[in-house]
């Protein structure tokens, strides 16, 4: 019996690449929304938490496709900004996915805040939905660090050039992809999710 495939509920190629690197060794076929149906109506992400938004995406696309879907919602929470940008991380400066503007606004909003008060953490929540659109698993990963005053490095995406991993004294923008995969919030959530994905899809019992 062939294994069911897993649809990643995103068009973001960089997110896809991170997740594919973790799933590929387990032989589970993985595709993105763009590879399945680029004309699907988008999920409405109006939740107040990462968990709510990830579930909305996973269940919406699972019902639309009749397939297993794993979706994530992630963002940056800065203590000095009372948790902002939070669930609005991608829209922080007003236009979805404008990393340059989002980083500029974050630098502006933290102007005058001392290094000791720039604690922040990335959050990633993964939700796996079955082909009927029911939530099958939820995991959450966090990566703690601080926000530096100026961009450093060109690796990664989002707020990575501003997010310093304390134990390395370097930003995700300066660290290579292998190190980020080991430390990132998304990787931590994915490592928790792997056993559920393998159990539900890996042995063919859910096909």
Enumerate the domain spans of the chain: 6-202
Which listed residue (37, 73, 98, 99) is catalytic?
Answer: 73
pLDDT the model gives residue 2: 64
Give the H or E element holding residue 73: strand 68-78
74 labelled as ligand-binding? Answer: yes
Which residues are CB-neighbours of 8 under 8 A, at least 6 positions away? 15, 16, 19, 30, 31, 32, 33, 69, 70, 71
Q: Which two tokens stand for residue 5?
A: 């495939």
Is residue 73 part of an annotated ligand binding site?
yes
Distance between CA atoms of residues 71 and 63, nearest Å: 13
Given a cut of 80, whether residue 205 has pLDDT beyond it is no
Q: What is the mean pLDDT of residues 104-131?
A: 96
Number of C-beta neighbours around residue 82 at 10 A: 8
Q: Could you read off the pLDDT of 156-171 as tens digits, one per residue?
A: 889 999 999 988 999 9
Nearest to 79 by CA among 48, 111, 110: 110
168 annotated ligand-binding residue: no
Give the mean pLDDT of 147-159: 93
| pLDDT recorded at residue 207 | 39
Report the top-level CATH class of 6-202: alpha beta
- Which sign does the torsion angle of CA 200, 188, 123, 97 carry? negative
Cα 28 to Cα 2, 134, 202, distances in angstroms: 10, 20, 6
Q: Is 73 tagged catalytic?
A: yes
Residue 99 is labelled as binding a ligand: no
pLDDT value at 46 more than 70: yes
Q: Percent of the chain, pLDDT > 90?
A: 63
Mean pLDDT of the residues in the chain:
89
């Amino acid at each position: 019996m062939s294994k069911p495939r897993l649809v990643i509920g995103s068009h973001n190629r960089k997110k896809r690449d991170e997740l594919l690197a973790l799933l590929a060794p387990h032989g589970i076929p993985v595709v993105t929304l763009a590879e399945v149906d680029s004309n699907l109506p988008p999920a409405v992400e109006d939740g107040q938490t990462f968990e709510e938004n990830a579930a909305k995406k996973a269940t919406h696309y699972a019902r639309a496709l009749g397939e297993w879907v794993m979706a994530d919602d992630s963002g940056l929470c800065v203590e000095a900004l009372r948790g902002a940008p939070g669930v609005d991380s991608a829209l922080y400066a007003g236009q979805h996915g404008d990393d340059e503007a989002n980083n500029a606004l974050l630098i502006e909003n933290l102007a005058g805040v001392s290094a000791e008060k720039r604690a922040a953490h990335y959050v990633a929540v993964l939700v796996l939905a079955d082909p009927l659109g029911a939530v099958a698993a939820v995991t959450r990963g966090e990566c703690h660090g601080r926000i530096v005053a100026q961009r450093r490095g060109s690796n990664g995406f989002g707020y990575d050039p501003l997010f310093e991993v304390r134990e390395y004294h370097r930003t995700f923008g300066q660290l290579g992809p292998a190190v980020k995969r080991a430390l990132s919030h998304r990787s931590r959530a994915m490592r928790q999710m792997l056993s559920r994905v393998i159990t539900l899809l890996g042995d063919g019992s859910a096909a």
